Amino acid sequence: MKKVYSLLLIMFLTTSLVAQTIDDIKDLISKAQWDKAKTSVDAFLLKEKNAIKWEGWYYKGIIYNEIAKSETYSALHPDARMTSFAAFKKYYEVDTKAIQATLEQNVRLFEIYSNYFDLAAQNFNKKDYAEALNNFKNAHIVESFIASKGFDYNNFTFPEFDTTLIQNIALAAFMAKKEDEAAIYYTKITDRKIGGKGNEDGYQFLVDYHSKKGDLQNRSKYLQLGNEIYPEDDFWYLTELGEIENEIDKKKIFAKYEDLIPKYPNKQVLQYNYAVELFNYAYTSEVKPVEYKEIQKKLEQRIKTILEKKPDYTEANILLAKHFYNLAFDIQDEQRLVKGTKPEDLKKKADYKALVSSTCDEIIKYGLIAFDFYNTKTTLKTSEKGSFKMVADLLTSAYEMKGDNVKAEEYKKKQESIQ
């Protein structure tokens, strides 16, 4: 009899539980008895006739949302907030007019989104990036549903594409070392060609990401997009230039610069670096290059192209003055090879002398621009002092070669005074 009694008791309790009404559930909600409310609403929705009505789903959404927010009751269901959202989705499906939610301006959905976002931000600040990622993604799921329904709360609506939230998801994924997932969300931003402060990170990430994957097509795609949207950023050309960082074949280095300069025409530093490569190849190689004359012409052309756009580019002016300095010595070497005393030989010597003088004029022309820059500065860095002394030395030599000893002495004294 005892066993039978126990069985009957269980049957009675179960029947009583299932027999809960919406009024019973609402009463438990009003008392904030969320554990009992959860049990009641779950039992209520087990009945097929109740599951096709909106009330059970609506109140389940309320109950589970409150459980998610409660320190006391949150352990009742580890995924209560998403369960709440799922219940509300079902509510909107069952009750297409959604009168009850409309009266509240669908505020509970906005609250679920807000709680997910705030929790994600807290996770991120605590450096729990994996959990931040999960909560940002959940916020995005809820937001997307709200936006798809066109809901607003106090005239606030979510944008069609929430760049900030997508960026947060991507960053959290990156910090959680889930680069494949970060790539998915950064791609959502970059493929829309979204610019603005902070969004350049996505383009740069995708360049590096596809580089690591060996996907040169997508690497090139995001280099091009990034440069198009952020043309002032040096990352794009520096990344491509990095391909020849360890290259020793000068022809390959020069070819790379020739390829990059048309792609980044406003990057004077890129052109200057190319000019430096040409200068070093021409004038500092152990053996003079076979194409020495050709390199000299290309070097001169490159620097003058820079100075056409930026005449006060100090380093470029110095480099061009140094080039003409070397050129003047080349001319003097050729001049010394003329040994004869015939009229035509004397004319050649005179022509060479005039050419040396005009070349020295070029040293002076570009050297003075750099000299004036340093000379007007009240304070000089150590590196600037070194450059200043070198420019003064170039001017001294130029005037000496021209035979102007007064000017030569003037710049020599200036050089000696730079400490």
Q: Average model confidence (pLDDT) for the chain?
A: 92
Assigned token pair, 35: 């554990």
Per-residue pLDDT at 11: 40
Residue labelled with tokens 């030395």: 393
- Residue 9 — very low, low, confident or very high, per pLDDT cuts 50/70/90? very low
153 phi, psi to nearest 5 deg: -135, 120
Average pLDDT over residues 332-337: 90
Report domain extents, the chain: 16-103, 105-233
Burial class from Cβ neighbours inside 10 Å (0-12, 13-18, 19+) for residue 302 reads buried
Say what the pTM is.
Answer: 0.79
Q: How far apart are CA 137 and CA 123, in angstroms?
A: 13
In this structure, are residues 279 and 319 in contact, taking their beta carbons and an 8 Å threshold? yes
Helix residue spans in 95-128 (DSSP H): 99-103, 107-125
**135: pLDDT strictly greater than 80:** yes
Give how far Cα 11 sits from Cα of 37, 44, 182, 231, Å.
20, 16, 53, 74
Q: For residue range 379-401, what is the model confidence (pLDDT) as tens digits?
A: 999 999 999 999 999 999 999 99
Q: How far apart are CA 116 and CA 139, in angstroms?
A: 5
The residue ranking higher by pLDDT, 137 or 4, is 137
Q: For residue range 223-274, what is the model confidence (pLDDT) as tens digits?
A: 999 999 999 999 999 999 999 988 999 999 999 999 999 999 889 999 999 9
Per-residue pLDDT at 70: 93
**370: pLDDT strictly greater than 80:** yes
Per-residue pLDDT at 198: 87
Q: For residue range 24-56, what is the model confidence (pLDDT) as tens digits?
A: 999 999 999 999 999 999 999 999 999 999 999
**343: pLDDT strictly greater than 60:** yes
What is the CATH code for 105-233? 1.25.40.10
**3: pLDDT strictly greater than 60:** no
